[in-house]
Every structure is written in C-alpha cells, then in structure tokens.
Amino acid sequence: MKHLFTLILVCVFALNGYGQFWTRTNASIAATGTDARMLATHCGDTVFGVAPTSQGYFLTVSTDKGATWSSGQPIFDTLIDGYTPKIAAIYGIHDRLYATISLANSIYYNIYYYSEDLGNSWTVDTAGLARSFNPAYIHPFEISELSNGYMVAYNSLQGAYFKHKSGSTWVHQPTSSSWTGTYNLDFTYFGNTWYALNNANQSTGEVLNRSTDNGQTWSTVNISGLPSTFTPYNLVSNHDDKMYISGSIAGTTPNRLYYSDDNGVTWDSTNTATYGQYTYGSVYMRDLYAVEDYVFTTFYPTTGDTVSRILTSNTAIPNFSLCDVSGLPIYAANIFSLAPPILNYFSIDDKLFITYSDDIYTSTPGFVGTDPGIGMVENSGTSFKVYPNPAENVIHIEAEKDETVRVYDMSGQIVDSFNVHAGENTVELDIPNGLYFINMGNLFERLVINK
C-alpha cells in the first residue's frame, strides 16, 4: 500500500458567494475527482480525508490546515483474509493516523491499523485488545487521545484498554473501583487528569471517574446537579476548564446537555432543551465538540429542514443558539427528518472543521485555538527557509547565520541534528516519511517527508 503523494493546489472558496460562515475545502475533489462523503481527522496541522468510491477508499492529505490537498491515493485496496476492507472510522492520535477496518460487513470482524508516514505504510495495532467470537478479530472500539502520550480504546461492553504510543500492547484497566458492570462511554482530560464517563446512571454513584496517574488507579467524582434519571452518553472538554455531558432524562423527549466548570463536580443545565418545541428537536448525543468557551453540537432536525442544524455557544455560561449554516449545501426538505449526519468536529488553531454531505468544510467562528503538534512557535519566515517541502531525502536550508539545526518528530524527540552556515545549505536526511519540525534557534518550520 505504499504510494507517493503529489500535492495539488485546491482553491478554497465559498460555495455560494462571499461572506458565508462555512467554506468548502474541496478535499473530496482532490481525493476522488467528485463530491464524496468524507471521513476526516487531523494530527497537528495535517488533515486527513478518506472518501469511499466504487473503486475502494482514497486518502487525501493536507499539511497546511486544509488550504491544499494531495491527489487521492488508494488505501486498503487489497483483500484482507479474503474480505474486502471497509474503513469504518479514522482517528488522529498524537502523530498517528489510526484506521478501524471492518471485514465481512460485521462489527465483530475488526482490525486496527495506524500510520506514521501520511498513510504510506500501515501497522496492525491489536495486541491486548478484547477478541470477538472469532479470535482472529477484535471487538468494535473507539479510540481517543489522552495526555502524556497515552491513548485509550474503549466501548460500553468490554471497557477500556490503555497504551502509551511507545508501547506495543493495549492493557485493560477498569475505571471503576466497585462496580464491575460499569463500562466506558467516553474519555477526556485536563492536563494530567483523565476523566472516564461510565455506562451508569446517577443512582450507581459512578457516572464520572478520574485518574491522575495515567490510568493506573481511578476514583469517583462525587457529582451534583444531574437529574437522578439522567442517562449520560457523551463527554467532551475544552482540555482547560470546562466539561460537557450529553444524555437523556427518563420521561422527556429532547436530549439534554449539561456543563461543569469545576472539574466535573457540579453540573448545570444549558438551554438546549428549549429547542424541544421543534419536531424531534434534540441534541444529537454523539456529535459534540468544545474549544475555549466555544461548544458545538449537532441538533436533531426540525420538520422541513434543508440543512443539518448545529447548536453553538461561545459564552462562559453556555447559551446556545442555532449556528449560521450559510455555505453548506441545501437539500430537499425533510431529508434530515430521521437523523442528522455526524459532522465529526475538530479544530486547528482558529479553524473549525466538519465533514458534511459532499466534502470537508471549515469556518472561523472566533476562537483562537492552541499551537498544534508539540506546541512550538513557528518560523515567521525571516530567519531561515526550508525547501522543497514536502521533500524526499534532500532539503535546502537558507540561513542568515551559522547555526545548529535540530529535527524533531511529532512527539518532540530529536531525530537528527547538524550545523549549517550562513547562506544556502544542502542537507541529506535519513528519516522515515512523516511530519517533522525543523528547529533553528528559537524558530521552527514544519517539514513533510514523502519518499
């Protein structure tokens, strides 16, 4: 499955005119030559888009936050154990692109792969995970990134499996200390503190547990504010000071969204329930995203809607309203009458991304975001230049003075170091395909290696 990405320029423009809230990226055009429903994720500034076609799955990559895209290349285009692979999900976990591969059209036939070189090669990553009734395959899991280089694979039946990116085996670790029937719905983190949302209502006392030792031990958060009949479903945070839980309340129709700004101890309701006057008006419980004071959730459609609806808030005390959907495609009324599409929100710096209908779309709602990758300040372009970029194994560096240059991978490890002189330098690098940072002094420049 090795292949070479050839970057092509894709113009970013608003579909129906100037000043619209959402902008189409044309990732689907780069991947397949036509409109396509995409899977998307990111690692740092690098965005990955996967599109299904009648000829299989095609991957396109942007290393500049969706401004330009590589031409689509087939991935997982050969039979696995005699089955045609189906890419069920992709995840950006630290500097890895993970893919969930389903076989035989069954949720019980799963294999998990990751790539560290922009999809050129793939490594199976299933050691330690719970097996299905066929021991050759794995149960369906979701995968989430945690802090300190860790990740977690989890579901509501088999529980949680943790590993560090440097490890080779997933390790099962219960997040509940007293009730073995509590399994996991979601994970998030604030710094070194991890939070697990458990498959339990408030009467069990273990809705939310936390760990401060990389998942080795867990304690219950004594929460207040959630209704006694509240059944949680989804947990997200802005990784700073706010958490959000979606769920349902017995005897009511609309799903609800609650928030906490004290590490999950106290929960307050939001105004999402006020949208219940619409037919099927409800928060879609599995499509929720937060950054700074901004939070976005997909909204169950109203009768006659021609665009999927999004609820958004950007205030310290959440106050939701319908998000501007200008720039998104318009469809026939009632196309979303049963369920909204999953939009898979993520952000890079000040850009919000969604997968919608025929492409990947972006917006700049107003948040600032944080530095991607390993959190370094990027080169302003005044002290040194690196080209070509992407490169194979030879780069040219233009420096203003003699300097030591270091090359970092996305985990922050130095993979190469050398000296350059003032002027133009030609350097040969012996490093694998992937995304790196070139460091000179206190400045950094991204470098993509594609051999």
Cα 213 from Cα 235, distance rounded (Å): 20
Domain count, the chain: 2
Half-sphere exposure of 443 (CA within 13 A, CB side): 14
Inside any domain, residue 287: yes
By C-alpha distance, which of 372, 290, 439 is closest to 94?
372
Candidate from 41-45, 244-248, 361-365, 444-448 with smallest mean pLDDT: 444-448
Per-residue confidence (pLDDT) for residue 83, from 0 to 100: 92
The maximal CA–CA distance of the chain, rounded, in angstroms, is 72
Confidence of residue 256 (pLDDT cuts 50, 70, 90): confident
**The pTM of the whole model exceeds 0.85:** no
Rg (CA), the chain: 23
Residue 256: what residue type? R
Cα 188 from Cα 195, distance rounded (Å): 5
Do 270 and 391 fall into the same domain? no
Judge contact between 218 and 207, C-beta under 8 A. Answer: no
Most confident of 5-9, 228-232, 323-327, 414-418: 323-327
Inside any domain, residue 66: yes
Domain boundary among 331, 363, 395: 363
Do 295 and 419 fall into the same domain? no
Cα 267 from Cα 256, distance rounded (Å): 12
pLDDT tens digits, one per residue of 186-218: 999 999 999 999 877 666 678 899 999 999 999
Domain boundary among 363, 395, 413: 363
Most confident of 15-24, 295-304, 354-363: 354-363
Per-residue confidence (pLDDT) for residue 391, from 0 to 100: 87
Inside any domain, residue 4: no
Domain range for 343 is 23-363
Most confident of 171-185, 261-275, 300-314: 261-275
Helix (H) or strand (E) holding 27: helix 27-32
Do 311 and 391 fall into the same domain? no
Residue 262: pLDDT over 80: yes
Inside any domain, residue 168: yes
Residue 380: pLDDT over 50: no
Do 161 and 238 fall into the same domain? yes
In this structure, the dihedral spanned by the alpha carbons of residues 271, 273, 276 and 281, taken in order and rounded to 10 degrees, is 90
Q: In 10 A of CB 124, how many CB atoms? A: 10
Confidence of residue 385 (pLDDT cuts 50, 70, 90): confident
Do 223 and 168 fall into the same domain? yes
Cα 210 from Cα 264, distance rounded (Å): 9
Do 414 and 314 fall into the same domain? no
Do 40 and 155 fall into the same domain? yes
Inside any domain, residue 299: yes
Phi, psi of 233 (to 5 degrees): -135, -40
Candidate from 204-218, 379-393, 400-414 with smallest mean pLDDT: 379-393
Inside any domain, residue 17: no
For the segment 246-268, the average pLDDT, to the nearest whole number, is 86
Do 344 and 403 fall into the same domain? no
Do 117 and 247 fall into the same domain? yes
Do 413 and 331 fall into the same domain? no
Do 357 and 402 fall into the same domain? no
Domain boundary among 303, 330, 363: 363
Inside any domain, residue 116: yes
Residue 11: pLDDT over 70: no
Q: Average pLDDT over the chain, rounded to whole? A: 84
Tell me if the bond preceding 388 is cis, omega within 30° of 0.
yes
Confidence of residue 412 (pLDDT cuts 50, 70, 90): low
Read off the tokens for 19.
């000043």
Inside any domain, residue 70: yes
* CATH assignment of the domain containing 261: 2.130.10.10
Do 157 and 39 fall into the same domain? yes
Candidate from 19-28, 305-314, 374-383 with smallest mean pLDDT: 374-383
Long-range contacts of 333-336 (CB under 8 A, 24+ apart): 333/304, 333/305, 333/306, 334/303, 334/304, 334/305, 335/305, 335/306, 336/301, 336/305, 336/308
Per-residue confidence (pLDDT) for residue 307, from 0 to 100: 78
* CATH assignment of the domain containing 443: 2.60.40.10
